């Protein structure tokens, strides 16, 4: 006998309710028939009508179809695809309210996990909230029923690809050309075998990495090359894994992207597949704040953990005695060394090491450091927390893309005798629920 399905029937009728709260995922929270219900498109203190999308034992989910009594924080979304595309889901919330919402989440996690609050809440780091995104992975799907190649982000709460013409948060060099990419791919014989296009943009050039599951015929490759040249794009192809990425256009060796850190007279080169911050305007302000919070002295030795291609390491090196950068990705460390050499910075050393693994036997671990910068991935820097005691730096600047792991690691640092001096949000991803933050810890004397 087959097991009985536990999937609950989704009611078809629309329901009116009052929205009392807001979740960390950017959904309104309502109580409907004694059950918590999460609503896409709803804001706190609104009366809305919604349609159920999923029903679970402990909670339900729905999507707003009309708003009867709107929040004063509600605005008209700028993007015509809002509500369908899952690329960003807070466009209906005013920009000032978005910042307040993200700051509240950060402080809530500090209180809940570390039982603390920063002595000072730093002003948020903000920039233009439109056309800011320089890196993204666009999904591609040929849909025979529509006789069209869709290029964009996944639909909200779905595996389908959004049918969009342009993207308001992507840098306009690509964001305004989504429909052109769709038209181009539709002409290719390999259109059903291209699952994604990764984009990366520097200050002067933009690149496309076309992932293809089958070899491209000569005519397809010619059309891609012509498109890249017409729109002044760099073109890369990826027939297999990341190691198979190779440059097609331009055909000379100077094909690397770059961005300038003008305040420090530094030019950062990078490969389009390497990690760089998606929002360059925020990145520049973020570096400036980190430098200020570190209170660098000419005699300081600084450790930059999760250093990437040297985004923080090289500016720091201009104002201190020596910088050691550590990163798991070997290609990033190679690039960091190249960037140091190109910018004539000679007081840095970079090491390849997986920072989730023991470090005690490595040469960089046995050195002394006055200050530390941490810029970990979403998983945080839990494995490094016991090692902080070994160095006992006077200042730690923690750059976080996940307030949950930041708060968790804060608890460790407080136990080691550090004070949470300052913390504040950075609006790296406007119109999304992502919360990026920076925190300053100082060692109690």
- pLDDT tens for 53-62 read 999 999 999 9
CATH number given to 135-257: 2.40.50.1070
> Quick check: 49 and 16 in contact, CB under 8 A?
yes
Q: In what order do the strands lie in the sheet with 120-121?
A: 120-121, 418-426, 436-443, 395-400, 371-374, 301-305, 322-327, 348-352
- pLDDT tens for 265-312 read 999 999 999 999 999 999 999 999 999 999 999 999 999 999 999 999
Q: Domain limits of the chain?
A: 15-74, 100-128+278-443, 135-257
Residue 269 tokens, joined: 């080169």
Q: How confident is the model at residue 378 (pLDDT cuts 50, 70, 90)?
A: very high
Q: How confident is the model at residue 251 (pLDDT cuts 50, 70, 90)?
A: confident
Which pTM was predicted? 0.94
Q: With b meaning 16 or more CB within 10 Å and e meaning fewer, what string describes 375-399?
A: bbeeebbeebbebbeebebbbbbbb
CATH number given to 100-128+278-443: 3.40.50.150
Q: How confident is the model at residue 104 (pLDDT cuts 50, 70, 90)?
A: very high
Query: Is the fold of 100-128+278-443 the same as that of 135-257?
Result: no
Active site residue 401: yes
Return mean pLDDT, the chain: 95
- Enumerate the H helices of 375-421 as residue ranges: 385-391, 403-415
* Dist CA 323 CA 307 (whole Å): 11
Catalytic residue among 237, 247, 307, 401: 401
Superfamily of domain 15-74: Nucleic acid-binding proteins (2.40.50.140)
């Amino acid at each position: 006998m087959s097991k009985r399905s536990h999937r609950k029937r989704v009611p078809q009728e629309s329901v009116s309710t009052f929205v009392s709260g807001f979740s960390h995922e950017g959904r309104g929270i309502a109580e409907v028939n004694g059950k918590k219900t999460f609503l896409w498109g709803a804001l706190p203190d609104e009366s809305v009508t919604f349609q159920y999308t999923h029903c679970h034992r402990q909670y339900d989910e729905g999507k707003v179809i009309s708003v009867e009594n709107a929040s004063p924080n509600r605005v008209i979304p700028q993007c015509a695809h809002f509500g369908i595309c899952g690329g960003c889901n807070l466009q209906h919330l005013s920009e000032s309210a978005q910042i307040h919402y993200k700051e509240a989440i950060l402080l809530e996690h500090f209180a809940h996990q570390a039982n603390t609050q920063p002595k000072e809440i730093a002003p948020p780091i903000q920039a233009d909230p439109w056309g800011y995104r320089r890196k993204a992975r666009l999904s591609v799907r040929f849909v025979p029923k529509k006789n069209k190649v869709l290029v964009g982000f996944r639909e909200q709460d779905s595996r389908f690809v959004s049918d969009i013409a342009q993207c308001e948060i992507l840098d306009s060099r690509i964001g305004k050309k989504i429909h052109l990419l769709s038209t181009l791919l539709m002409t290719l014989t390999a259109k059903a075998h291209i699952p994604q296009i990764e984009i990366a943009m520097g200050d002067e050039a933009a690149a496309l990495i076309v992932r293809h599951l089958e070899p491209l015929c000569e005519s397809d490759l010619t059309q891609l090359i012509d498109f890249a040249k017409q729109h002044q794009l760099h073109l890369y192809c990826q027939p297999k894994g990341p190691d198979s990425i190779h440059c097609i256009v331009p055909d000379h060796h100077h094909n690397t992207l770059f961005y300038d850190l003008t305040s420090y007279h530094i030019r950062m080169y990078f490969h389009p597949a390497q990690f760089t911050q998606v929002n360059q305007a925020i990145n520049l302000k973020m570096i400036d704040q980190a430098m200020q919070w570190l209170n660098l002295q000419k005699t300081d030795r600084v450790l930059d953990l999760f250093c990437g291609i040297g985004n923080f390491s090289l500016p720091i090196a201009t104002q201190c005695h020596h910088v050691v950068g550590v990163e798991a990705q070997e290609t990033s460390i190679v690039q960091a060394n190249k960037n140091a050499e190109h910018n004539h910075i000679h007081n840095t050393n970079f090491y390849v090491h997986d920072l989730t693994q023991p470090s005690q036997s490595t040469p960089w671990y046995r050195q002394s450091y006055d200050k530390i910068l941490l810029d970990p991935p979403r998983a945080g820097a839990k494995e490094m927390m016991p090692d902080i005691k070994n160095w006992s730096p006077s200042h730690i600047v923690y750059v976080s893309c996940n307030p949950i792991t930041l708060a968790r690691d804060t608890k460790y640092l407080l136990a080691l005798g550090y004070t949470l001096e300052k913390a504040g949000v950075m609006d790296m991803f406007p119109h999304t629920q992502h919360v990026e933050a920076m925190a300053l810890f100082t060692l109690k004397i």
